[in-house]
Structure 1
Amino acid sequence: MTEFEPPPRPTNLNNELAKERNRAAAERTLMAWIRTCLALIGFGFGIDRVVTVLDAGTGDNHIEPLLLSRFLGLAFIALGTIALLAASLDHRRELKRIRRDDYLYTPRTSQALSVAVILAFLGVVAFFGIVLGALLD
């Protein structure tokens, strides 16, 4: 066998190509999660920086809307970080499943739905915090 000899042909080329398509799809999915999580982390960081500047400008550390905004900023950062870790673990698990020869579809909980529910909860908290802050002023 020489150095330039091609590798042996797989026994079932269709299966190998399907595995490659699934692997590429898993890579695209991970990249989409990375973009989404980066946006969440960046948005949370931006909220926290704006609140810090506003808080430093007033000199009063007990303003409720600023505390709510800081909480929301940190919640976005935490959600982005946790979602990124979950997406990375899911990607690794998916690649292991593709490498196996007994690959079978198994339904799983949607990570996107979980993130959407948490974002909806944070939106409701922000909405009521703003409404209550406006009513109390």
Structure 2
Amino acid sequence: MAEVDDPRIYFAAERTLLAWVRTGLTLVGMGFVVARFGLFLRIVRNAPNAAPQLGSTWIGVGLVVLGSLAIGVAAWQHARFWKNLERPQQTRLSAMKWSVAFAASVALIGLALGAYLVVSAGDDGAHPAAARPS
């Protein structure tokens, strides 16, 4: 098989994209856990009215954003790599678009999660009486 016709080149790029998506999802998941760890500590200490721990929130949001950016950059690099391949090495355009669209969607959902964590940072159960309707 000639090197120009070798589909393994594209498949290697696809595996690299998937590895970055896995890595990014791991960072997003870990970031969410770290962001909510302050709430967990307040519950364990039986102090629900204590001030929220913003340190863990901001570190967690940083991890979520970092993971989302890793996925987004990997999707962008994959699309750029596909465009630079020789014509015989390229798979169907629809296959490449689906991979990139999936990765970009995951990155956007991760960024939305980061925004949610920032918005809800001060409102994570610190004042349960205020949340109940009278």
Q: Which has the higher contact order (CA 8 A, sep 6+)?
A: 2
1:67 and 1:46 map into 2 onto residues whose CA distance is: 14
* CA contact 2:20–2:74 (8 Å) conserved in 1: yes
* Alpha-carbon RMSD: 2.1
CA positional deviation for 1:54? 2.6
Instruction: Tell me the residue number matched to 2:3.
Output: 14
Stretches of structure 1 that go unaligned for 5 or more consecutive residues are: 1-11, 102-137
Residue 99 to residue 15, structure 1, CA distance change in 2 (3 Å):
closer
Instruction: Tell me the residue number matched to 1:61.
Output: 51
CA positional deviation for 1:99? 3.7
What's the TM-score once normalised by structure 1's chain length? 0.55
**1:47 is the counterpart of 2:37:** no
2:25 and 2:34 map into 1 onto residues whose CA distance is: 14
Instruction: Tell me the residue number matched to 1:87.
Output: 74
CA positional deviation for 1:100? 5.0
1:85-123 CA-partner distances (Å, limit 9, x unpaired): 11101111111111458xxxxxxxxxxxxxxxxxxxxxx
- Structure 2 counterpart of 1:15, one-letter code: V
* CA contact 2:4–2:86 (8 Å) conserved in 1: no
Stretches of structure 2 that go unaligned for 5 or more consecutive residues are: 89-134
Larger radius of gyration: 1
State the SS of the aligned residue for 2:85: helix
What's the TM-score once normalised by structure 2's chain length? 0.56
